[in-house]
Structure 1
Amino acid sequence: MVIAYVSQNYEENRFDLYDEFTDIENFLNIKEFISYYAANKNRDLVLLYKVDTLEEIEALEQISFSNNIYIILMGKDDVAFSLLAGKLGVDVYLNYEKIDTDELISYITNSQNIIKQRKGNSNVSVFTGINGGVGTTTITMNLAKTIADEYPQKNVLFLDFTDTKAVSNLFFDVIQPTKTIVDIAGVQSLELDELFHNGLIKLSNNLFFVPGIQKHTDKEEFSRAENIQVFLNFIMKIKERFDFILIDIGTFKDKDLEVDIQEMADDIFVVTEFNIPSMSILKTYIDIIDKSGWYNKTHIIANRADAYGSVTHEEAKKILSKGLKHNFEIDHSLPNDALHLRECWNEAKLVCELYPDAPFMDGLREMIKKFFIVDENAITREQLCNTSFFAKVKKWL
């Protein structure tokens, strides 16, 4: 989430508004915010806009608001001000002379739920690995199938955005798909007939799948500037139909499409292993996360965590967090279940189908309960109260 401040007096309020829970920008005026917003339309935003005149409220008409922005307007105790604010679609109008900290905490905390309702209650989760072979695709495929099987009331979509020749279609028994992710991103509507004609495959009553590219040359489609927004628009539109969208982007690469998909995602799962070479590679990626404002939605998953030669959780934490603002944790560990996983990979079979009681599957079900079938509040009231966030807001006011 981004919380943006718009203030009349920029120099007086030029202080760092970044803390553990929010990625914040400060702007001189509403035009500056519009410029920023245009470049960040895939992120959730809370705008705190302080005004002294009706003309400043009228400036909000310049913004074509989408459903991922929540507006808290702070102005004088004047009926004309509050009425105009409501007419223009402001979510909350507050008298800046009587700002109540607890009330403001509630509005900001609840804003995420309101934005979520506006956008639909679906969850977009991106899975990426620090390098090939760490189990990213295996984890993502088995998660999608297990959620669909064990929670039949949930509709699940698996999207394969890996930029190498995809193999996930083999595990879902789609040997030679005629259409892939490259085709479906260009659909003009969400009509099922068009989706199915352009690559969407129904695997069961509530599990759906779009295969990844089948030719190495197709990966060029991911890097074309004119295609990137098409792919992003497709993901935003398709959210209307699914509770969970799991996206496998393969090995992390600092490319525009991958970065933009992670930017718009609700959660990012980074798959690694617990050895020194993997920790070194992961540290590079963590630096990007730390600078990109993805800290809150990033979860580090250690696969084969108890394999021979693995570092401990504490050692991994020290390596990852050294020199960074945030303390990165290993959020979940999966066991070294090489016996079952090797057989399933060699035969292109899902672990959840052949060995539903394998140790790997026990760890995967714990992961589902921890990250997917839960009630989430990315920023809690307690977290906000324990920061200097509101001291800074008071200073600004």
Structure 2
Amino acid sequence: MVIAYVTPNYEECCFELRDEYTELENFSSIQEFINYYAANRNRDIVLLYKVDTLEDIHALENMGFSSNIYMILMGKDDVAFSLLAGKLGVDIYLNIAEVDSDELIKYITNSQNIIKERKGNSNVSVFTGINGGVGTTTITMNLAKTIADEHLDKNVLLLDFTDTKAISNLFFDVIQPSKTIVDITHAQSMEFEELFNNGLMKLSNNLFFIPGIQKHTDKEEFSRTENIQIFLNFIMHIKESFDFILIDVGVFKDKDLEIDIQELADDIFVITEFNIPSMSILKTYIDIIDRSGWYNKTHIIANRADAYGSVTHEEAKKILSKGLKHNFEIAHSLPNDALHLRECWNEAKLVCDACPDAPFMDGLRKMINKFFIVEQQNNQYEQEHSKSILARIKEWL
């Protein structure tokens, strides 16, 4: 998340935000910010805009901001100011005399939920591991296939953005894919016919897949600035056609594409193990999460949580949260099911297909119900409930 502050000089409360967020951009004019926004339309942005006159607020008219921006205006205690701000779609108008950094942080934190609601019911989830071998790819593949198989009304897309020679294609019986994720950059348009010609595959009626790179040299394509924007545009475009997009980015690396994908994601799942070396690596990563404004959408998943020598949940929480602003919880844990996973991995089989009743799959289904299907069911209930209230209001009228 980018925190953009528009004023010629830092106000004291906004200066304090520099310790809270890694990306705090300061602009001397709203036009400077608009130019910046034009080049960063795929990123979630919170705009803190200090206004002195009604003309400052009018400058927001016809700017074409989309759903990924949350606007906080700060000005004098004046009804005309707040009414005009509301008319132009500003989210919050604050009395500048009463603003403090704690209040701004509260609004910034809440903005992520509001932006997510605006983007609709489709869900983009990123899966990243703290190191190789923790099960990131195994979890992502089996989640995608299980959601598609057990919820036939949901369209699911799996994207493999790992920057090593991908193996996910083997588990979906695509032995030598002629096109991979880097070929999306060659598509002439975002029409489905063109995407199918450049890597997109249909595995079943509701499960789709784009294989990861098959040549080590292809990882260079992930670092090209022009390609990064194409990938981000592709995700933002295609999400309208899918209920769930699951993205495997492999081991966490502080690289532009990976950071940008996590920025636009609705949820980030960080896969770890419950041992001391893994906790130490994870602590470094969640410090980035803590300062990037991703706290609310990040879920730490412990794989093989009951393996021999693992630390307890309470010990893990203490290690992770020490010295950080937020207390990080372990969102979900999966059991140590080495017998089934080793057998499936050696034979390049998905656990959900070969061993549907394995303990790993029981933990995975609980994860689906906790983070995916239940949330959408609640959204659907809220929509239907709202419709019923509107219908009753109309009857009363």
Fold match by TM threshold 0.5? yes
Q: What TM-score do you get using the length of structure 2 for normalisation?
A: 0.81
1:159-308 → structure 2 map (5 Å cutoff): 159-308=159-308
Q: Give the letter for the 2:128 counterpart.
A: T
Contact 1:186 1:234 in 2 (8 A): no
Looking at structure 1, the residues matched to 46 and 331 of structure 2 have their Cα atoms a distance apart, in angstroms, of 27
Over 3 Å counting, the alpha-carbon distance change for 1:360 and 1:95 in structure 2 is closer
Looking at structure 2, the residues matched to 321 and 155 of structure 1 have their Cα atoms a distance apart, in angstroms, of 36
Secondary structure at the counterpart of residue 373 of structure 1: helix
Query: Runs of 5+ in structure 1 lacking a partner?
Result: 377-397
Q: Aligned residues, how many?
A: 369
1:16 aligns to what?
16
Over 3 Å counting, the alpha-carbon distance change for 1:289 and 1:40 in structure 2 is farther
What is the root-mean-square deviation in Å for CA atoms of aligned residues?
Answer: 3.4
Over 3 Å counting, the alpha-carbon distance change for 1:74 and 1:325 in structure 2 is closer
23-32 vs 221-230, greater mean Cα deviation? 23-32
CA drift of 1:69 comes to 1.6
CA deviations over 1:164-214 (Å, ceiling 9, x no partner): 111101111111111110012442433221111111111111110000011
Secondary structure at the counterpart of residue 132 of structure 1: coil
Contact 2:22 2:292 in 1 (8 A): no
Looking at structure 1, the residues matched to 370 and 314 of structure 2 have their Cα atoms a distance apart, in angstroms, of 21
1:324 aligns to what?
324
Over 3 Å counting, the alpha-carbon distance change for 1:11 and 1:336 in structure 2 is closer
Contact 1:182 1:221 in 2 (8 A): yes
Looking at structure 1, the residues matched to 92 and 276 of structure 2 have their Cα atoms a distance apart, in angstroms, of 52
Secondary structure at the counterpart of residue 374 of structure 2: coil
CA drift of 1:21 comes to 11
CA drift of 1:51 comes to 3.4
Looking at structure 2, the residues matched to 228 and 332 of structure 1 have their Cα atoms a distance apart, in angstroms, of 31
Contact 1:20 1:326 in 2 (8 A): no
Contact 1:6 1:28 in 2 (8 A): yes
362-371 vs 292-301, greater mean Cα deviation? 292-301
Over 3 Å counting, the alpha-carbon distance change for 1:92 and 1:274 in structure 2 is closer
Q: Give the letter for the 2:216 counterpart.
A: H
Secondary structure at the counterpart of residue 184 of structure 1: helix
Looking at structure 2, the residues matched to 20 and 9 of structure 1 have their Cα atoms a distance apart, in angstroms, of 19
CA drift of 1:346 comes to 0.6
Contact 2:85 2:93 in 1 (8 A): no
Q: Percent identity?
A: 79
Q: Give the letter for the 2:80 counterpart.
A: D
CA drift of 1:319 comes to 1.7
CA deviations over 1:46-92 (Å, ceiling 9, x no partner): 4454534232123224844122124355663339x846873xx4245
Q: Give the letter for the 1:278 counterpart.
A: S
Query: Runs of 5+ in structure 2 lacking a partner?
Result: 99-103, 377-397
Contact 2:190 2:234 in 1 (8 A): no
1:346 aligns with 2:351: no
Q: What TM-score do you get using the length of structure 1 for normalisation?
A: 0.81
Looking at structure 2, the residues matched to 354 and 254 of structure 1 have their Cα atoms a distance apart, in angstroms, of 35
32-41 vs 150-159, greater mean Cα deviation? 32-41
Match of 2:79 among 77, 80, 85: 77
Secondary structure at the counterpart of residue 152 of structure 2: coil
Over 3 Å counting, the alpha-carbon distance change for 1:78 and 1:191 in structure 2 is same
Q: Give the letter for the 2:79 counterpart.
A: D
2:336 aligns to what?
336
Looking at structure 2, the residues matched to 114 and 292 of structure 1 have their Cα atoms a distance apart, in angstroms, of 17
1:358 aligns to what?
358
